[in-house]
Chains A and B, each alone.
Chain A
Amino acid sequence: MSRQQEFTRAILNAQLPVPEGLLDGEMRAAGRRFSVYRNNVAVSLTEALHQGFPVIARLLGKENMDGLAGLYLRAHPPKSPLMMQYGESFPAFLDGMEQLAHLGYLGDVARLELALRRSYHAADAAPIDAEQLAALPPEALMSCRLRFAPAMALLRAPWPIYSIWRYNSLDGAPKPQAGAEDVLITRPDYDPQPQPLPPGAASWITALQAGETLATATDIAYAEAPDFDLSAPLALLINGAALTDVLPKERP
Chain B
Amino acid sequence: MSASTTPTPLRLNQLPNAAGVGYKPQHFQQILDAPGPVQWLEIHAENYMGDGGRPLAQLRHLAERFAISVHGVGLSIGGESPLDADHLARLKQLLSWLNPASFSEHLAWSTHDSHFYNDLLPLPYTDATLARVCDHINQVQDLLGRRMLLENPSSYLAFAESTWEEPAFLHEIARRTGCGLLLDVNNVFVSATNLGYRPQDYIAAYPLDLVGEIHVGGHDEDEDDHGKPLLIDSHGAEVVDPVWALLRDTLTRSGARPVLVEWDTDVPDWPVLAAEAARAAAALTQAREAA
Which residues of A are in contact with B by a Cβ distance under 8 Å? 2-5, 7-8, 11, 20-26, 28, 30-34, 36-37, 40-41, 44-45, 48, 77-84, 119-124, 150-151, 187, 190-191
Contacts and interface: CB of A to CB of B under 8 A. Distances in A.
A82 B114 contact: no
- Which of A36, A41, A84 has the most chain B CB atoms closer than 10 A to its own CB? A36
Contact of A25 (B53, B54, B159, B195): B195
A30 B160 CA distance: 11
A123 B117 CA distance: 27
Given A3-B124, A5-B113, A8-B113, A30 B157 contact: yes
A41 B117 CA distance: 6
Contacts of A25: 158, 194-197
Contacts of B222: 36
B8 interface: no
Interface residues of B, number: 52
Which of B84, B160, B161: most chain A Cβ within 10 A?
B160
Interface of B: 46-47, 49-57, 73-76, 79-80, 84, 86-87, 90, 109-119, 121-122, 124, 156-161, 194-197, 222, 224-226, 228, 230, 232
A41 B115 CA distance: 12
Nearest to B115: A77
Contact of B119 (A23, A37, A80): A37
Contacts of B54: 120, 190-191
A80 B109 CA distance: 14
Contacts of A78: 115-118
Which of B87, B113, B118, B226 neighbours the largest number of chain A CB atoms within 10 Å of its CB? B118
A32 B224 contact: yes
B118 A36 contact: no
B45 to A, nearest CB: 9
